Amino acid sequence: MTISSKSLLLSALVSSASFSAAAQSWQDTVARIEQIFSRYNNDKTPGAQLAISRNGSVIFSKAWGMADLEHQVPLTPQSITEAGSVSKQFTAAAILLLEQQGKLSLDDDVRKHIGELRDYKVKITLRHLIQHTSGLKDWGSIMDVAGWPRGSRAYTNDYALYVISLQQSLNNLPGDEYIYSNSNYNLLAIIVQRVSGLSLADFTKKYIFEPAGMKNTEWRSYYRKIVPNRAFAYSRNGAGFQTNMPNESAYGNGGLLTTAEDLLIWNNYYLGGRLGNPSLFAQQTATRPLNNGGKNNYGAGLMTDPVGGWKAIAHSGATAGYRANLEYFPEAGLSIAWLSNTSAFDTDTLNVANAVRRLFLPVRRPENPPPRPAFITVPEEKLAAYAGWYRNPRTGGGTKLYIKDGKMSSLFPAANLNTVAENIFVVGNNRLEVDKKKGLLWISPGADSIYFDRVEPADTSEKNLQKYVGTYYSREAEAFYYIVLKQGKLFLELRPGTVFSLTPTYYDGFDCPFGPIHFIRDIKKGIVELKVSVSRARNITFRKVYDAGF
């Protein structure tokens, strides 16, 4: 355990009147942190690291739990842990350094550097990649749909590029939407190597890790490499644990091997204006609005959204069983780095990163929150005109509006709607405006509005369901889907041994455990293909190749 003196912590706390912990004694503060991390505090669980700095000085650093359960090795502040998508800011920083060196421009067409990428007849820039507005589908999501999720194969950046190059369409036009996609950062890692002549691992070691003094940081660029003092990753297995390692060599999107203390060194380095000459800090945190003027608060591998009402520069991460979070709060000069080698507590009501933050920074409520709309009651007979199925044209996903207990409700997401006008409903911060002919306009704050088409309900007769049965092949995922009919229900088989039930939604639309599926008909040929969408990869196409299985 490495902790600065009592006086250093207290002076750090009381220097800002906004700190909720200002009046606490050193012992009280440590006791509360220990309580938050008590879940890791024995020799039977994986562990976590926590490091906190104030104005560049480390005020707390400790590790709990075990780095290796099999060999009973404790986790220490020097144990090497993987940082998941916190890694992305280092890949982006390498690109910014190369731009400063005159070797590329953020406005370059990505195909200037990666000719293997399909020509979508629109310009995708490096800036689009960095800020997740490229529209490129997430290669890992595609492999998940194919039945080979990340970790099940020894993926490399070259293989990621191969999968990306197979995609026949984009999620969205470049700049139209923010859709998080790891493909962007695997391509950036490849570009670093092609432009500089150094691998991303070697480039960042030379230009970032060594200058910053990050002595315990490297990349998982080859997953079989022996890394001394590395903590193994674990997930829950019943009442115990099982190893859950990222057995892949794809990196740049993730794959940073580091410690919480090294992440604080990084924060101090770039926040102090020492990355680049002149400093690249402004470029790291620069954002650009979407094509429609909407906000996109993702910078160069850094999220700039407020956290808990405080200005923040942050990113979280998750790869296999590893979890990570790195935050900086400029108003308080506070950095918090948290790393864990287990996903076991993902669904726990206590989020340790949030709990630690609140020890120092109370949640700020808006002084003048927007007024809540007045809710009204509309007779059921009028609401009935708006009930029915609606289809998202971007993903093929369906939602249903229906009346329950005299009020309008929705399916996908399942929610009770509040009525503000005869045809206008709200759920949370979302607003739904329904037109009897045009369909449903779904408005979400900070996101693009989407018109849902009004569609016919599903035909679940066995005669109609039989039309979907057959074998489908995707060139994009290099996978077969087998649609079979059993006891009046449709199932999707990924052979061998994986079966998903298909729940009818609207006509030709179904819901699958991993995402919506919709079938495409030809007037003469009938069903000719299906498309599946997941959050990071839309409309992966499977062509019907046989009317029945092999």
Tens digit of pLDDT for each residue in 211-231? 999 999 999 999 999 999 999
Specify whether 469 is located in the same domain as 507.
yes
| Of 455, 483, 512, the domain-final residue | 455
In angstroms, the CA 459 to CA 389 distance is: 13
Exposure string for 324-335, b = 16+ CB within 10 A, e = fewer: bbbbbbeebbbb
Q: Is residue 241 part of a domain?
A: no
Contact 188, 91 (CB under 8 A): yes
Helix (H, G, I), strand (E, B) or coil at 389: strand
Shared domain check, 443 and 519: no
Q: Which pLDDT band, with edges at 50, 70 and 90, does 3 fall under?
A: very low
pLDDT band at 412 (very low <50, low <70, confident <90, very high): confident
Looking at the structure, tell me whether residues 403 and 468 fall in a common domain: no
Q: Which residues 6+ apart lie within 8 Å of 241 measured at CB?
A: 45, 46, 69, 234, 235, 342, 344
* Residue 483 CB coordination number (10 Å): 25
Q: Per residue in 52-98, pLDDT tens?
A: 999 999 999 999 999 999 999 999 999 999 999 999 999 999 999 99
Same-domain pairing of 439 and 503: no
In a domain, 534, yes or no: yes
Q: What distance in Å separates the CA atoms of residue 155 and residue 485, rounded to the nearest whole number?
A: 34
pLDDT given for residue 351 in this prediction: 94
Strands, DSSP E only, in 272-385? 313-319, 322-329, 334-340
pLDDT tens track for 152-180: 999 999 999 999 999 999 999 999 999 99
Judgement on whether residues 520 and 467 belong to the same structural domain of the protein: yes
Domain for residue 300, yes or no? Answer: no
pLDDT at 368: 80
Shared domain check, 502 and 442: no
Q: Among residues 81, 115, 85, which one has the least CA distance to residue 185? A: 85
- Residue 428 within any structural domain of the chain: yes
**pLDDT confidence band for 24 (50 / 70 / 90):** low
pLDDT, tens digit (0-9, with 9 covering 90-100), for 119-151? 999 999 999 999 999 999 999 999 999 999 999
pLDDT of residue 491: 98
Does residue 486 surpass a pLDDT of 60?
A: yes
Q: Which residue range forms the structural domain that includes residue 401?
A: 380-455
Q: Are 326 and 336 in contact (CB under 8 A)?
A: yes
Please report which residue ranges of 410-472 form alpha helices under DSSP H: 462-465
User: Do 450 and 486 fall into the same domain?
Assistant: no
Q: CA-to-CA distance for 98 and 208, rounded, in angstroms?
A: 12
Residue 14 predicted with pLDDT over 60: no
Instruction: Tell which of 455, 473, 505 closes a domain.
Output: 455
pLDDT at 445: 82
Does 525 reside within a domain? yes
pLDDT, position 26: 76
Write out pLDDT tens, residues 232-275: 999 999 999 999 999 999 999 999 999 999 999 999 999 999 99
**Taking 70 as the threshold, does the pLDDT of residue 549 lie above it?**
no
**Does 466 reside within a domain?**
yes
> In the beta sheet, which residues pair with residue 481?
472
Q: What are the two backbone dihedrals, phi and then psi, of residue 327, each rounded to the nearest 5 degrees?
A: -135, 145
Residues in the chain, overall count: 550
Domain termination residue (choose one: 455, 487, 514) = 455
Q: Which tokens belong to 2?
A: 């490495």
Whether residue 449 lies inside any domain: the answer is yes
Burial (CB < 10 A; 0-12, 13-18, 19+), residue 43, is: exposed
Q: Is the peptide bond before 149 cis (omega within 30 degrees of 0)?
A: no
- First vs last Cα of the chain: how many Å apart? 61
Q: Which residue has the higher pLDDT, 53 or 366?
A: 53
Position 408 scores a pLDDT of: 96
Bridge partners (DSSP) of residue 310 are 307
Please compute the mean of the pLDDT values over residues 487-507 and round it to a whole number.
96
369 or 469: which leads in pLDDT: 469
Same domain, residue pair 443 and 399:
yes
Please tell me the distance from the alpha carbon of residue 543 to that of residue 285, in angstroms, as a whole number.
Answer: 43
Alpha carbon distance 487, 462 (integer Å): 9
CATH number at residue 441: 2.40.128.50
Within a 10 A sphere around the Cβ of 455, how many other Cβ atoms? 18
> Minimal CA–CA distance to 219: which of 335, 84, 323?
84
pLDDT of residue 550: 53
Give the number of domains in the chain: 2
pLDDT of residue 15: 44
- How far, in Å, CA of 47 to CA of 429, rounded? 37
Question: What pLDDT is attached to residue 125?
Answer: 98
Residue type, 50: L
The CA-CA-CA angle for residues 250, 251, 255, to 5°, reads 120
7-17 residues labelled b (16+ CB within 10 A) or e (exposed): ebbbebbeebe
pLDDT digits (tens, 9 = 90+) for 314-346: 999 999 999 999 999 999 999 999 999 999 999
The answer to whether residue 118 sits within a structural domain is no
Question: Of 472, 475, 473, 474, which is closest to residue 483 (Cα–Cα)?
Answer: 472
CA distance 222 to 224: 6
Mean residue pLDDT across the chain: 93
Q: What is the DSSP letter of 384?
A: G
Structure tokens at 461: 């007769």
